[in-house]
Amino acid sequence: SWSSDSSDSVISTDSCASLFRVVLIGEDGVGKSALAGIFTGAQDSMDSDCDLSGEDTYEQTLTVDGECATIILLDTWDTQDRGSWSQEQCMQVGDAYLIVYSITDRSSFERASELRIQLRRARQMEDIPIILVGNKSDLVRCREVSVAEGRACAVVFDCKFIETSAAVQHNVREMFEGIVRQVRLRRDSKEA
Ligand code: GDP
Ligand code: MG
């Protein structure tokens, strides 16, 4: 289900030495599970509002820039439980984060900023790869957050930015490639 328009990136099931945890966080309803569903190649992720089998941890190996990386994707963020132990766990276990909001919901965008601050507080001494993700870019008529605002927010919070649509599968692969590259940039600068 990954519509391929560039050939340097493919998904394989081969095992891979480079492995890291990516955590999806963001307000309820912004599309975290839909994005996770595309990651796993689930065909019906957009047709069901509930998680496919109650499963919320996914694993995929991707080849990005000719090098493989295995992502363990956690879709375990529980917004019913604000400030709880499980949210705190999510803030601790990730090697990288996708902070998701919906471009059709300004309050989810504001929540994303709060989450960025919360994450910085939880992991003070670390330079954690983060992408701010504005999902539902297909819903152009319902847009409440402009691209410029999203980008400006990412500059302030010193992270990457991308707009995606899980519904039409736009930029979803690019988002996962982006997080792999962010992890590598930090790894490479540590090794240097
Ligand atoms: P979560 O609570 O963050 O996991 O959000 P879900 O993945 O459950 O999605 C919430 C609702 O938004 C569902 O009805 C999805 O079908 C819908 N949705 C998710 N992503 C998109 C998108 O990119 N575009 C549109 N139009 N709807 C989406
Ligand atoms: Mg969900």
Q: How many CB atoms lie within 10 A of CB 50?
A: 7
Comparing 3-7, 27-31, 36-40, 95-99, the range with the smallest average pLDDT is: 3-7
167 burial via Cβ count (<10 Å: 0-12, 13-18, 19+): middle
Residue 11 lies in a domain: no
Residue 5 lies in a domain: no
Give the rounded percent of residues in the chain with a pLDDT score beyond 90.
70
Mean pLDDT of 77-97: 84
Residue 9 lies in a domain: no
Q: How far is the CA of 66 from the centre of ligand 2 (A)?
A: 31
Residue 50 lies in a domain: yes
The answer to whether ipTM exceeds 0.85 is yes
Is the predicted pLDDT of residue 43 greater than 50, yes or no?
Answer: no
CATH number for the domain including 144? 3.40.50.300
Residue 6 lies in a domain: no
Q: How far is the CA of 119 from the centre of ligand 1 (A)?
A: 23
pTM of the shown model? 0.87
171 close to ligand 1 (CB < 6 Angstrom): no
How far is it, in rounded angstroms, from Cα 187 to Cα 184? 5
Is the predicted pLDDT of residue 4 greater than 50, yes or no?
Answer: no
Task: Report the pLDDT value the prediction gives residue 62, as an integer from 0 to 100.
Answer: 92
Task: Report the pLDDT value the prediction gives residue 188, as an integer from 0 to 100.
Answer: 86
Nearest CA, atom 14, ligand 1: 49
Residue 118 lies in a domain: yes
Comparing 73-82, 129-138, 175-184, the range with the smallest average pLDDT is: 73-82
How far is it, in rounded angstroms, from Cα 140 to Cα 61? 32
Comparing 33-42, 83-92, 120-129, 146-155, the range with the smallest average pLDDT is: 83-92
Domain boundaries, position 154: 18-77+84-191
Residue 23 lies in a domain: yes
Structural domain count, the chain: 1
Structure tokens at 192: 């240097």
Residue 2 lies in a domain: no
**Close Cβ partners of 115 (under 8 Å, ≥ 6 residues apart):** 25, 26, 99
Q: Which atom of ligand 1 is nearest to the CA of 136?
A: 23
175 close to ligand 1 (CB < 6 Angstrom): no
Q: How far is the CA of 67 from the centre of ligand 1 (A)?
A: 31
46 or 186: whose pLDDT is higher? Answer: 186
